[in-house]
Chains A and B, each alone.
Chain A
């Protein structure tokens, strides 16, 4: 009975299996990147990047229609232009990264909206921008899986520099020339994962899938390894539960997944082992007595 409720939908329906495979790909690929976003205090950067990607995909959609490759390419180009542009400004002028990024993504967003209006509003663009985890076809699944694999490989390549950059960026810059590599490599990682997440969950929800598992994991793990493992596991569990919730209670799938991840995060804030509210309170009482 319980097994039926938990596993039955995936046995009976191939669209549920496809959705699950998509979620697994995103969890494995995107959540480790999310952990580094948190460590580098770039969680909000993800949101900005998502907005930057949106016009690229939208324009590609308007030009060529609902083509997976064109929309992926459009998103990548828009995302990379904004990421590299903001990075260049931050590295070579007095302006900080957050400000230059905000400036670039706002320009990109406004440009996108303007081009869309000039073209008239053909078809309900909202649907395309929301993504469709329930409608993943073979080519979308291949794309998600390839991006997840590529992302893991790239992450493994720049892992050392990336960790150093997280801990002490100035030190890395002084001892090695890999600092720009770590920086831009990481931005590229972020962009390709957002584009992948975009196809399944839509632009804005994709950021949730990156950041929330990592944020929750911070309350349970201490070492980087445990953080990475935990965040992937939480991402997998959350998206699985979200799909079930959408199936059993007739809720839209994307928001259901993100809200499950959100509740995992809130729970972790309350009872997490590492600096969770409850533990902090208990520790303080222990000290006081």
Chain B
């Protein structure tokens, strides 16, 4: 079953690639966009819709921190009209790729103008985890699209306004859900520090045994501290993520009798059949899961 599923993904990827390149040759009026990872790809898709052809370099369920570009990625970038990156050192590999592909077109840094959180003296790149920032992302991408195709300015502006309205609606839902829990009880454990921005927006405290990035091995001391904290603060749920090794969080859950609250999506969307195929779906999924877990622990505390 699973094999079959992977085959489908590969097939989809191959077809997607070939058709994107093929279509770009036929319809020259479409803007050829390269997005560094799945979340930006989805935003570009929502904002540009049928005026853009999008190739996403790091696809669903993959880790953008540690990507190794392939030669075909270079080819894709060479043929692009626009490259969208996150910035804040999230995809360290992209500048080299742009240079080596000899691409001189416009590069949108989606986080331009975002107030970056600092973690250990370095900017936290996961800015898309704040819905407020997502609006900034959308504005940046939209103005780049308008610059490339001024005659479609109205179209792009309208789509951006629609996106902003959808975000606003989700923000209201989120506020409602989180406000049910007192601020001092909004504590959540995840497997890597990717949710700082979401936490800032809704006063949630996120705790994680690993550091900023996904490429470090946990120490026994850190895991022990986390377990003590979970026990002393009565946290009832921990989360795993779609891109990291779930074994450690399962161990922590076993040891603290906390429940695994589900799988959060931090740095990558899920595949089309998963619970987070688009940016807005991803945020809704995370917000729902986290608020449910907070609600469960609130009930336990009041018992």
Contact = CB atoms under 8 A, between A and B. Distances in A.
Given A15-B223, A119-B10, A247-B220, A124 B66 contact: yes
B67 interface: yes
Given A128-B245, A250-B222, A253-B217, A121 B6 contact: no
A247 B224 CA distance: 8
B221 A120 contact: no
Main secondary structure of the interface of A (DSSP, over half): helix
B247 A9 contact: no
A18 B6 CA distance: 34
Interface stretch (B56-64, B81-89, B131-139, B292-300): B56-64
Nearest to B61: A122
Given A250-B222, A255-B217, A135 B62 contact: no
A15 B251 contact: yes
Interface in A217-256: 243, 246-256
Contact of B247 (A63, A122, A137): A137
A122 B62 contact: yes
Contacts of B250: 135, 137
A255 B218 CA distance: 11
Query: Among A63, A64, A252, which residue has the most Cβ atoms of chain B within 10 A?
Result: A252
Given A15-B227, A132-B245, A137-B250, A123 B63 contact: yes
Given A15-B251, A123-B243, A137-B251, A250 B221 contact: yes
Contacts of B67: 121
A126 interface: yes
Contact of B220 (A63, A124, A134): A134
A16 B220 contact: yes
B217 A124 contact: no
A13 interface: yes
Interface residues of B, number: 37
Contacts of B245: 66, 123-124, 127-128, 132, 135
Given A13-B255, A123-B245, A128-B245, 9 more contacts: A66-B246, A119-B10, A120-B10, A121-B66, A122-B62, A137-B247, A137-B250, A250-B222, A251-B219
A27 B245 CA distance: 25
B218 A124 contact: no
A153 to B, nearest CB: 29
A65 B2 contact: yes
B217 A252 contact: yes
B211 to A, nearest CB: 11
Given A121-B68, A123-B61, A124-B215, A246 B247 contact: no
Contacts of B227: 13, 15
Contacts of A128: 245
A40 B149 CA distance: 71
Given A63-B3, A127-B245, A135-B248, A9 B220 contact: yes
Query: Among B62, B227, B243, B245, which residue has the most Cβ atoms of chain A within 10 A?
Result: B245
